[in-house]
Each structure stands twice: as structure tokens, then as C-alpha cells.
Structure 1
Amino acid sequence: MTRSFHTTRWTLVRNAQGDSVEARAALGDLCELYYEPVVSFLVRDGRDRDAAREVAHGFFAKVLAGDFLGESEQGRGRFRSYLLGALKHHLLNQRRDEGREKRGGGLEQVVLQPDHLVSMPDGDFDRGWALLIVERALATLERDESHRAEQFAALKPWLASGEIGESQEVTAARLGMSSGALKVAIHRLRRRFRELVRSEVAGTLYDPADLDDEMRHLVEALAGRG
């Protein structure tokens, strides 16, 4: 699929550099998606949750104002990578400003250590991103299946491949379905769920060719290997 036929949210933002109404709406949607991973990242960096939210609000205000869009090449077209790099840059600038204020006030000089930003918990950020991607895909699937809500609620545990408490035979009997029909329904839901997850991830990429790599990264992040 060529880029001209695959316009994603991140494509809109980068092509317009945030200047169009559509680009700003797309950027706002992306920022909403990544808000909780950013907050969790900041908490792991040593802040309480209220302080982390305050920093996140200031950071996203700058992102929405377009302050970091010129740096988007560093993420190779992945909004996840771009945002994490922009966040580290924002924190470094913030610490430099705080250091200048303290020196100007005659207080003890703060020695900044930019290397600290390199060792911050990227894996936690990526896991938060992966969980939100899955949650958004699941919410879309649930809306799509609202006309058969009872069946969806019964089959939802089988979206993952792990074992659940109830056998498929028991579930089929409870729903008044044959075992074969239940297996087909589970297969259909799993396939649609995978499509929705891929669609969510694709919306954060500039180049569709990166999708398979980003999907592998999502699986690794969910498994705690990111």
C-alpha cells in the first residue's frame, strides 16, 4: 500500500507540520493516546503522580503548540519514538532552567547529568503504550459487537490464546451454539481484533513499511521485553 493511500494520524501531523486543522486534531488524538504512558514514565523517574501529571500537562502543551515537530525525524516516522525523545529533551531543558534559577538565587548549584535521561525506563513507557493500543482496539471491537453483546462477553476471554476457566463446550452450550460454530466465532473475533490492533499501531506511523516491526515491538513490550 502506497503512502498516498495510507494517510495516518502521524502522516497528517508530519506532512502539515501541525499547521492544518486536521493535523492538529490528529496530534491531539495521538497525545491523548500517549498521556498515561508519559505519566507512568515520569512516575518511574521519581515523581509522585500529581507532579508527574503536572509535568505531562506542560509537556503536551508544548507538543500541541508544535514546539517539537521539527525533531520528528529522530523517531524514524514512529510517533512513539518521537514522543519519548521529545519528552527527554523537555525534561533536560526543564532541569537546566531549574539549575539556572537556583544558581541565580544564590543557592547551591545543581549539577545536571544528561546521561540520566538515557537510563530512564523506556520499557515502562513502551509497555504503557502497548497496553493502551490493545485497550483501544478492544473497545472498538466491543462497539462493533454491541448487537451481540452477550456472545461477545462470553467469547472475549478467548481473544488471548491462554486457558480460561470455562471450556468451549460449556460456553457453546450456554450460548446455544454448536462447538464448531463457537470455534468459527472465536476465530472471527481474534482475526478482527488483530486487524484493529494493527490499525491502531498504523495510525502512529509515517511509513506503512514500519508496521510489522512496530507490531513485533508491541508484542515484546507486552511481554516485558521492550
Structure 2
Amino acid sequence: MDLFSSLERTTADFQTTNWSIVGGLRASDGQVRRQTAEWLAREYWPPVYASARRLTKTREEAAELTQAFFAEVVLGRGLLDLADEGKGRLRSLICTALRRFAVDQWRHNKARGAGRVVPLNGLEREDALLQDSSPEEEFDRRWALKVFERAIKLCERHYMSAGMADHWRLFEDRIIHPALRQCDAPPVADLAKRHGFDSVRRASAALQTVKRKLTVTIRQVVAETVTDLEQAEQERAYLMKWLGMSAPTGANDH
């Protein structure tokens, strides 16, 4: 797999931004500040790159814009030093800064007559992972997917350690795999037999149990990014919308 395919398809474990980690940017220890900034840059690379693909013509230009953004703005200008947990989402700060940086780059290249200008119009992409959306929407979608991946891993760990692997495998086959592969979900009756459930009713109940747990886990992961409970709930609802999921009623931790 080439570099760009790796960037576009990365499934690295994404830890959503914990404000205690962001606080490391203000540490008195220079090494701690540098390591924190580099860690956050690595974690936010995929959504920034996805957004950059909507601002550029080719993969190479998107990678160049992303690299320059992190080097010049995130690390060079200390963008994340401006992060304030009381002023909204960190991803909004990054996404807005990327848009402004792209405009600056476009103007700079145009002024000096550079052969390679970063275009600001949306073009058709051969990249199947990208949807017909704006840079901001693509950034948010990739962020949502990363949070979803994180929640899935935590939820899977919970069911495996609880001796309920059958519940998780059933949920994977019925919900997760069809969503990721964009295919029809197998009938619950078939999956019930495959995973050792003695009836469709019991299998359906297990699916709802796991869905409730996943919803709670998503809420917990989102809460890592904010301190206000109301804002955390808004973030969760926002994330669920992007994932195309509706939270089950009476969601609780099982």
C-alpha cells in the first residue's frame, strides 16, 4: 500500500483530544510541549488530510498542504496554544485554521506565479473514501469515524473481558461489518444460529444491548473532548448524526 493510500485508509487507534493532554502545550518543560504538539498533530492528521483533499486537485497537493499546515501553523505558530476548552470544539479551531491557511497558500502561490496553485474549488475525486462534501464536512466525517473506531475498540474490549464475545461478534456481523463494507446485513435468524443464540428473540435482544453499550461508550469518548455536560451531549448527537446512527431509547451501560 502506498503512502497516500495508507493516509486515507489509516485505522490507527485515535484517542480523541483530552483537555489534560492539550494542557501539556502550556507545560514549562519544552520537551513536554513539543511531544504534546507532535502527538496531537499525528492524531489529527487523517481528518486534516481528508479536508485538504477537498481543497486540492491531487493527492500530492493534499499531502503537501497537510504537511505545511502542521509544520507552519500547528507547530510553527503554536495553533493549539489557542485551544480553550471553554470556547468550543478543538476540531473547529483546526478546521478554520486549515481553511485560512489554504487561502493564504493560494494567494501566495498566485502572487509569485507558481506553477502549482492550491485550488479552492471542489473537484471530482477518484478516491472512493471521500464523499461529495465540503472540506469542513469531510473533516467532521473523518473525525466522527475516528471517534467511532475508538468507541468500537473499547466496546469490544468490554464484551471480550466480560465473557460475552458472542454478543459482540453478533453485533459485528449484523451492524458493523455491513456498514463498513456498504453491503446488506445478514438476516438475524442466520446470525443467531452462527453465534449460538437459541432464538431470534434472544439475538435481537443481544443486538440492542450492545447498541446501548456502544452509544454509552461513544458518549464517554466524546466527553473526553469537553468539560460541559450539555456540550458533551451536543457533541454526541452531532457525532451520531454523522455516523448515521440513532441512539436507542433508555441507553445505559450493560
**Conserved? CA contact 1:37–1:124, under 8 Å:** yes
- CA gap 1:198/1:31 in 2 versus in 1, 3 angstroms: farther
Q: Residues 97-136 of structure 1 correspond to what in structure 2 (within 5 A)? A: 97-99=108-110, 102=112, 107=113, 121-136=135-150
C-alpha deviations, 1:123-175, integer Å up to 9, x for none? 12211211222122223323444465565223224447x983222x4333333
Q: CA deviation at 1:194?
A: 1.2
Decide which of 59, 62, 76 is 1:49's aligned counterpart: 59
Counterpart for residue 239 of structure 2: 218
Q: Residues 150-161 of structure 1 correspond to what in structure 2 (within 5 A)? A: 151-159=167-175
Counterpart for residue 82 of structure 1: 93
Provide the rounded CA distance (Å) in 2 between the counterparts of 1:36 and 1:44.
13
- CA gap 1:89/1:198 in 2 versus in 1, 3 angstroms: same
- CA gap 1:193/1:10 in 2 versus in 1, 3 angstroms: same
Provide the rounded CA distance (Å) in 2 between the counterparts of 1:24 and 1:47.
32
Counterpart for residue 3 of structure 1: none
Higher helix share: 1
Q: Does 1:11 align with 2:38?
A: no
Amino acid in the other structure paired with 1:177? F
Q: CA deviation at 1:35?
A: 1.8
Amino acid in the other structure paired with 1:154? L
Q: CA deviation at 1:210?
A: 1.0
Decide which of 58, 70, 87 is 2:68's aligned counterpart: 58
Q: CA deviation at 1:81?
A: 0.7
Provide the rounded CA distance (Å) in 2 between the counterparts of 1:157 and 1:31.
34
**Gaps in structure 1 of 5+ consecutive residues:** 1-7
**Gaps in structure 2 of 5+ consecutive residues:** 1-15, 123-132, 245-254
Number of residue pairs matched? 203
Q: CA deviation at 1:60?
A: 2.3
C-alpha deviations, 1:102-143, integer Å up to 9, x for none? 1xxxx59xxx999x9xx9531122112112221222233234
**Conserved? CA contact 1:78–1:204, under 8 Å:** yes
Q: CA RMSD in A?
A: 3.8
**Conserved? CA contact 2:25–2:34, under 8 Å:** no
Provide the rounded CA distance (Å) in 2 between the counterparts of 1:97 and 1:67.
21
Counterpart for residue 205 of structure 1: 226
**Conserved? CA contact 2:219–2:232, under 8 Å:** yes
**Conserved? CA contact 2:155–2:217, under 8 Å:** yes
TM-score norm. by structure 2 comes to 0.62
C-alpha deviations, 1:76-110, integer Å up to 9, x for none? 2311111112212332343454355x1xxxx59xx
Provide the rounded CA distance (Å) in 1 between the counterparts of 2:54 and 2:119.
17
**What secondary structure, in the 3-state scheme, does the structure 1 residue paired with 2:83 have?**
helix
Decide which of 184, 191, 205 is 1:171's aligned counterpart: 191
**Conserved? CA contact 1:127–1:221, under 8 Å:** yes
Q: CA deviation at 1:63?
A: 1.8
- CA gap 1:159/1:120 in 2 versus in 1, 3 angstroms: closer
C-alpha deviations, 1:42-99, integer Å up to 9, x for none? 1111231122122212322342456113443599231111111221233234345435
Provide the rounded CA distance (Å) in 2 between the counterparts of 1:221 and 1:164.
20
Which one has the largest radius of gyration?
A: 1
Provide the rounded CA distance (Å) in 2 between the counterparts of 1:35 and 1:54.
12
Decide which of 64, 78, 81 is 1:67's aligned counterpart: 78
TM-score norm. by structure 1 comes to 0.69
